[in-house]
Amino acid sequence: MEKKEIKKILKFYKSIYPNSKLSESNLDTVNTWYLMLEDFTYEQVQNAIVKFFKQKNKYMPNLPNIVENIEVPDYTIKKIPPNTVIIQFEDEAYGNFPFRFLNSQDAKEYSKKFQECNYDKESIKILHEEHVRKRNAGVLTYRGEAKARLEQKLQNQNNKGSRRYDKQSSFSW
């Protein structure tokens, strides 16, 4: 989660608990909440506050109460600057799905796709296969062309002169 989202969370919290003394303009509060909640998404924290509220507790939730109510999925998302995202499932059968993007626009486009499929394992696997095929399409074409040029070059070298290259008769004693 980003710091600007922490401010939105604090506003949301204040709208549910108007008697709260927390303020989104207090830099210490924002920094503390950011430090405690940076590993979670905005939606996860918001849902945790709503969940606590629906439990009809008499008291306002503090940070440990909020973290306790956060539902953590069976996957982790790791962002590696500048444009790499790794989605890792706890299930060993699925493992890691690294998505490497050429620019931040592609990364944003795929992050929307991830959210649309609710990080379903099969959907992520399909998205990953699609992503790898799309990303490597140019590389595979280049390799194919390079291989064809190399074969043509070797054939041209073999056709020069009277003696052709033969693996079996390359050394004659």
Instruction: Give CA–CA dist 1/40, Å, rounded.
Output: 6
- Which band of pLDDT confidence, cut at 50, 70 and 90, is reported for residue 171? very low
Which residue would you say has higher pLDDT here, 21 or 86? 21
Q: Give CB contacts under 8 A, 24+ apart, made by 107-115.
A: 107/83, 110/85, 111/85, 114/87
Take residue 35 and report the two structure tokens written for it: 């430090």
Take residue 115 and report the two structure tokens written for it: 């959210």
List, for residues 63-79, the tens digit of each pLDDT value. 888 888 887 766 666 77
The Cβ-side half-sphere exposure at 66, using a 13 Å CA radius, reads 22
Taking residues 109-132, report their average pLDDT: 77
Contacts of 161 (CB under 8 A, 6+ apart): none
Contacts of 135 (CB under 8 A, 6+ apart): 100, 102
Instruction: Give CA–CA dist 82/103, Å, rounded.
Output: 8
| Residue 149 clears pLDDT 80, i.e. is over it | no
Strands of the sheet with 75-80, listed across from one edge = 75-80, 84-89, 96-100
Q: What's the chain's average pLDDT?
A: 76
Instruction: Choose the weakest-confidence range: 75-79, 126-130, 151-155.
Output: 75-79
Contacts of 153 (CB under 8 A, 6+ apart): none
List, for residues 36-56, the tens digit of each pLDDT value. 888 888 888 898 888 888 888
Take residue 102 and report the two structure tokens written for it: 């050429």
Instruction: Give CA–CA dist 60/25, Å, rounded.
Output: 20
Instruction: Choose the weakest-confidence range: 108-117, 126-135, 161-170.
Output: 161-170
**Residue pair 87/99 in contact by the 8 Å Cβ criterion:** yes
